[in-house]
Structure 1
Amino acid sequence: MVGEPGAGKTTLLSAIASHIKENTQHLPIFISLGSLQGITLEDYLLKKWLPDAMRLVNPQFIPSSEIENQLITRFYQSGVWLLLDGVDEMGESSPVEALNKISRELTNWLGQARVVLTCRLNVWDASLNNNILPSFDTYKTQEFKPEQVNKFIDKWFTCAGNIQRGEELKGKLTEPGKERISELVTNPLRLSLLCQIFYQDEQGELPETKAEFYEIFTRYFYEWKPELVPDVINSYQLKKELHQALGKLALAGIKSDLKFRLKRSLAVEEMGERLFKLAANQIK
């Protein structure tokens, strides 16, 4: 399953996992590939996923080779789904190498599973001519059509308890000169952010460009869950410091080898302990 950033790949993969769990006797295993961090898929399943899953049932669980063998046997019995999210987040040297690694590891007992994976479109396209995973069918997530945009807005504002506000947003998107923002929000992620912006903004003015869009969302982000960040909301200077520190961390992340899972030590080094804790508290 391929698509642009924010097109709903992870959301759809999660929905597939829920459907399998609720409607079949099969076993869905969801893995964020960015969590592998250089270890093999087999080792991750046996040494990380399996113990974590077992401790949800029994907090006193102690890993053993017997339990590992039971999982391997379950694969051979069929009915196991590997739902692998984010080929582009594996941190390999190239898209080809990332997909080659997946191909090499889907052998023996892992090869008995049915596999669904997600990947950003540019990574998948860069590897199309290599026939790395020839047995896979490719499905591409699509941008929203206008009627789907309206349906999403209706549902969002119904859940927010302000249907009239949703009607106002739909009207704004059809006004002359709003073609650019209307095009931007055919992406599900950006549309959800726009709903949040419009819900918070009493003036109801829409951004004109993508840069303005994200700048406005950053402004209203703190109003989303104000109880988590009261100090930031009440201090312009602290908010400025936090944004500068996050920008510094982003640049350091771009230059590092680990672009998707930054180490805590790097974040603390770039941001300082105080601002790191403040940022971490916002995503709990």
Structure 2
Amino acid sequence: MTNSAIQPANVYALVVGIEKYQAGSDHDLNGPANDALKFVDWLLEREVKPEHIYLFLSPLDQNRKVLSSATAKGLTPCPATHDKIANTIRSQLTSENSRGELLYIFWGGHGIITQMDTARRLFFADTDDNTKWNLDVNSLVNALSIFARGKGFPQQIFLIDACANAFYSKGIAQTSQGIAAGVKFAASHIGDVGGDSDLAEQFVLFAAPEYGVAINDAKIGTGHFSRAVLAELKEQPLLPDMKALAERLRADFLEKQQTQPAFWWKLGDSRIEAFASKSSRGQANWLEACKTWLEEQNQTRLSSNPRLYRKLTTVSYVPVRLRVEKYCLKHIEDSNRGINQAPPQVLDQSEWLKQLLSVDHSRNIAIIGEPGCGKSTLLQQVALWLLNEHNQVALWISLADLRGGTLEIYLLEEWLRVVLPIVASKTTEVIDAIKHEFRKLLRSDHFWLLLDGLDEMPLDTADPQTAVRKQLRDLIGLNPASHVILTCRSNFWDAERAASWFDTYRILELSDTTDLNQVQNFITHWFWQQPQQGQELKATLSQPKYRPLKDLVKNPLRLALVCHLWQSSGKTLPNTLTELYAQFLHEQWNRDVAETQLHRRRDELKQALGKLAIKAIDTQELPLRKHLVEDQLGRF
């Protein structure tokens, strides 16, 4: 930037620090208000007039002392609401009367980037699900870029400590309504550039690149970016060499393996320089990695009997029905008062899948049910549906594999190591870059994290749902754009505790009614190559003596076991659940013993063939004589 002497009396600043949001406590940040006040201290130390600093603070209750501190320094802090900030920008920074040599914009808080128009946006303290108010950063930069002679600010520095990740669904959303709610700006003193007006020199430094995340350290109450910027500014004049400062920041963040800041440098002659304004999103083949991973899990680990599992999940798969389980305080209070509740909604699988992609649908979903009802299978079907039909990145993970560790460690260390050959052509040289890209993917709106078996997750806590929620927040962030679906046994699921975060669906048992006989459909699909066997099984199950078994086979896994036994062990059926499991284990044992014996005989045959080959070479009896073959292989 132009290194001319700047008079402190001609320096102005808009300083914003937002920690508490109207959207709720989930959006709290501990740090931006403190960082904003530290930046004010830096300006005051360089003799900038307090009345030229427009300060907007919305601190957490525990940090409200920053308000009295600001007042003691001669400033008048205001709440960081959309009307107060927008009015100040229009009246003091973009109006006919706005004038000065240097303008600073410092902002700490939540931000996003919109995928529809790729504009960076910052949230006000009074932004919530209904208002969706946001400041259009691109619009503000453009409005301030043109200054008339004697009006405006020829030198401008923006320091934005906010995320630029994309997300939309319920909540503070990047939707068409959110874009419409964006606060835009225009300079009131615009003339013809080169005539009465010129272009300002602007340096815009962002904490995160596009689709990236800014890190806030809640323990000590500061943003990583703000802390680093303030440290760099400590010995600098009012107008520092911003490009050199940004390069030092980049090198420092790279050394610490943190997301590097991005900058725009808009010069007065219309040239624009930029660094890291685009993330490397899409370079790695995450879609293919998730497909390959899912296929390997199907083949190697989801069942001790791969053939049985393949039939259960493909040929004979019958879509399930799901009942909406909505638990909330109002529901419980109404029930206690005796108010009649509407019957819970029941959805078939196709209806439920369509809802998943709805903008208004919850990002966090729990699928519950009894063992064997099809939770894992449904989650597999969801993954395949998202990957193959909608090109959404869907990662299926068994929570039992965490073995007491965290999701973050498992995904970034174990899972990435397995799929690295798929997502990158090299390994050691790109592992850090791939990890960085994967972290951004986890926070994106086109990523689905499918977590199977909360009840199988080894956690040293009596409250695993809260523990998983904390791990997801640490991994994805306070405002996750990505979708999370997890499964859990119903007797393990604490519905009231989870109500504030998960929409819960219960898988219903298979229907055997005249209108919808899923049990018979399952059997028909299973025996599609032996339809007579299938008809015989249906007839047998209808016999009165098998009435208890008929109720048991409304569970898909138990029905699969019955079909398997009927197909492999003759015409007998168990009468009880204990007998069913006993017969299946006996059949599995006999199969395993037979396979062991087969492998042993195969090894003996290989040895005999080797001896036959040696004998043929030694005797030079080629082609082989009958007596020679009989001598070596007769026992086979």
Same fold (TM over 0.5): yes
1:112-145 alpha-carbon deviations (Å, 9 max, x no partner): 2200000000000xx223x245131111111111
Shift of 1:221: 2.3
Matches within 5 A, 1:242-261: none
| SS at 1:28 equivalent | strand
Q: Does 1:102 align with 2:468?
A: yes
2:413 to 47, 51, 55: 47
| SS at 1:154 equivalent | helix
Q: Determine the structure 2 residue equivalent to 1:72.
A: 439
Q: Determine the structure 2 residue equivalent to 1:136.
A: 502
| SS at 1:177 equivalent | helix
1:65-100 alpha-carbon deviations (Å, 9 max, x no partner): 211111112233321111000000012245x52111
Matches within 5 A, 1:78-227: 78-93=445-460, 96-107=462-473, 110-111=476-477, 112=480, 113-124=482-493, 127-129=494-496, 131-132=497-498, 134-146=500-512, 147-158=517-528, 161-202=529-570, 204-222=571-589
In structure 2, how many angstroms separate the alpha carbons of the residues matched to 1:57 and 1:15? 23
Structure number with greater Rg is 2
More helix by share: 1
Shift of 1:220: 2.1
In structure 2, how many angstroms separate the alpha carbons of the residues matched to 1:128 and 1:77? 27
Closer, same or farther in 2 for the Cα pair 1:8/1:136, shift >3 Å? same
Give TM-score, length-normalised by structure 2. 0.34
Closer, same or farther in 2 for the Cα pair 1:217/1:67, shift >3 Å? same
In structure 1, how many angstroms separate the alpha carbons of the residues matched to 2:464 and 2:498? 10
Identity %: 34
| SS at 1:82 equivalent | strand
- Which residues of structure 1 form unaligned runs of 5+? 233-284
In structure 2, how many angstroms separate the alpha carbons of the residues matched to 1:141 and 1:20? 20
In structure 1, how many angstroms separate the alpha carbons of the residues matched to 2:422 and 2:586? 38
| SS at 1:106 equivalent | helix
Q: Determine the structure 2 residue equivalent to 1:247.
A: none
Alpha carbons 2:408, 2:475 under 8 Å: kept: no
Alpha carbons 1:51, 1:61 under 8 Å: kept: no
Shift of 1:180: 0.5
Closer, same or farther in 2 for the Cα pair 1:188/1:224, shift >3 Å? farther
Shift of 1:226: 7.5
In structure 1, how many angstroms separate the alpha carbons of the residues matched to 2:397 and 2:593? 32
In structure 1, how many angstroms separate the alpha carbons of the residues matched to 2:372 and 2:425? 35
Q: Determine the structure 1 residue equivalent to 2:387.
A: 21
In structure 2, how many angstroms separate the alpha carbons of the residues matched to 1:18 and 1:83? 11
In structure 2, how many angstroms separate the alpha carbons of the residues matched to 1:3 and 1:109? 27
Alpha carbons 1:33, 1:86 under 8 Å: kept: yes
Of the structure 1 ranges 145-154 and 17-26, higher mean CA displacement relative to structure 2 is found in 17-26
In structure 1, how many angstroms separate the alpha carbons of the residues matched to 2:475 and 2:577? 46
Alpha carbons 1:103, 1:132 under 8 Å: kept: no
What do you get for the CA RMSD once the two structures are aligned?
2.4
Alpha carbons 2:407, 2:475 under 8 Å: kept: no
Shift of 1:5: 0.6
Closer, same or farther in 2 for the Cα pair 1:223/1:58, shift >3 Å? farther
1:163-185 alpha-carbon deviations (Å, 9 max, x no partner): 10110000001001211011111
Amino acid across the alignment from 2:524:
D
1:221-250 alpha-carbon deviations (Å, 9 max, x no partner): 256678634369xxxxxxxxxxxxxxxxxx
Q: Determine the structure 1 residue equivalent to 2:79.
A: none
Alpha carbons 1:86, 1:118 under 8 Å: kept: yes
Amino acid across the alignment from 2:582:
E
- Which residues of structure 2 form unaligned runs of 5+? 1-366, 600-636
In structure 1, how many angstroms separate the alpha carbons of the residues matched to 2:425 and 2:391? 24
Alpha carbons 1:74, 1:80 under 8 Å: kept: yes
Shift of 1:19: 0.6
| SS at 2:505 equivalent | coil
Amino acid across the alignment from 1:38:
G
